[in-house]
Amino acid sequence: DGGITQSPKYLFRKEGQNVTLSCEQNLNHDAMYWYRQDPGQGLRLIYYSQIVNDFQKGDIAEGYSVSREKKESFPLTVTSAQKNPTAFYLCASSPGGRNTDTQYFGPGTRLTVL
């Protein structure tokens, strides 16, 4: 079955530690996205990538980093510079950058900073 996988589902981190969230897709999609979701709020875009080896900052990129070395993979690193990292993180992909494209979401990773 094609789809997007995120791991782990739950992640706990101590303050001051970096942590990397995994996102893999086998849909052969060109574009991938990372969103942050806080309780009672909509989704905020962290980073996105339209093509391999290229990515752009979204609305809240500070304290995060990404890489896009392979078409299938778009890992997100939450660094110690992110002041309030506890949140639900969603990865998504779409066939391309056209505005008619549907985004396909993974199941999410819930990150808690202890």
Partner 1 sequence: GDSVTQMEGPVTLSEEAFLTINCTYTATGYPSLFWYVQYPGEGLQLLLKATKADDKGSNKGFEATYRKETTSFHLEKGSVQVSDSAVYFCALSSTSYDKVIFGPGTSLSVIP
36 touches partner 1 (CB under 8 A)? no
Q: How many residues form the binding site for partner 1 (CB under 8 A)?
A: 25
Distance CA 47, CA 57 (A): 5
**Tokens representing 49?**
């990538």
Q: Which of residues 70-109 bind partner 1 (CB under 8 A)?
A: 90, 92, 97, 99-108
What is the signed CA dihedral for 97, 52, 5, 21, rounded to 10 degrees? -110
| Residue 58 interacts with partner 1 (CB under 8 A): yes or no | yes
Where along the sequence are the contacts to partner 1 (CB under 8 A)? Answer: 4, 6, 33, 40-43, 45, 48, 50, 56, 58, 90, 92, 97, 99-108
